[in-house]
Amino acid sequence: MTERVIAQGTFDILHPGHLHYLRDAAALGDELHVIVARRENVTHKAKPVLPDRQRRDMVDALEMVAEAHLGHREDIFVPIERIEPDVIVLGHDQHHDEDGIRAALAERGIDCDVTRASPCEARYDGELLSTGRIVDRILERRG
Ligand SMILES: Cc1cc2nc3c(=O)[nH]c(=O)nc-3n(C[C@H](O)[C@H](O)[C@H](O)COP(=O)(O)O)c2cc1C
Ligand SMILES: Nc1ncnc2c1ncn2[C@@H]1O[C@H](COP(=O)(O)OP(=O)(O)OP(=O)(O)O)[C@@H](O)[C@H]1O
């Protein structure tokens, strides 16, 4: 049976940290589905620079990704109910609480594991593994 995996995030200006997360997630199953957060739901940090569809299209083109989906505007469990994953992989630094998500899934009768990806460190001088830091460097050098 095909094991479906879900990863999710903002993915505004792709960088190697994103590739690491998505490779980690893809390795846990056969088919990686990525939910790309809607701009209006990114409230814990600066709003994305790029439009929703552009962020979705870039993630969708990555080789380890079976399909990238734009997130739901109001209810983050709607795409999960449609995709029916076996596992949801959170990013290593995501603020979401694993037990809280498990409880919400159970309440909706969705049977799937929740786990976390590993972190990824810079491999050479100047490598930037954070969208926020890429934006800061652009402002520093071009602003
Ligand atoms: C399991 C799960 C499903 C999500 N589904 C959606 C969704 O359907 N729509 C959406 O706008 N955000 C969704 N999100 C929220 C964002 O992916 C994420 O919390 C945040 O806004 C982006 O955070 P990050 O890029 O800093 O990791 C979901 C989050 C989780 C943990
Ligand atoms: N260096 C990294 N190592 C491992 N995972 C990462 C790394 N950078 C981002 N990710 C993961 O990619 C997913 C999406 O990240 P997001 O789009 O918030 O990018 P970001 O570069 O971390 O953003 P920002 O720097 O603006 O906070 C998250 O799950 C995050 O944990």
Instruction: For residue range 38-51, list pLDDT tens digits in order.
Output: 999 999 999 999 99
- Note the pLDDT tens digit of each residue in 82-134: 999 999 999 999 988 999 999 999 999 999 999 999 999 999 999 999 999 99
pTM of the model: 0.96
- Closest among 93, 73, 97 to 133, alpha carbons compared: 93
| Most ligand 2 atoms within 8 A of CB, residue of 52, 58, 92, 121 to mutate | 92
ipTM: 0.93
User: What is the 8-class DSSP label of residue 39?
Assistant: G
The pLDDT assigned to 95 comes to 87
Give the C-alpha separation, 135 to 10, whole Å. Answer: 14
Q: Which domains does the chain have, with CATH numbers?
A: 4-142 (3.40.50.620)
User: Ligand 1 center to residue 8 CA distance, Å?
Assistant: 6
- Reference 46, options 119, 126, 116, 136; nearest CA is 136
Distance CA 107, CA 94 (A): 22
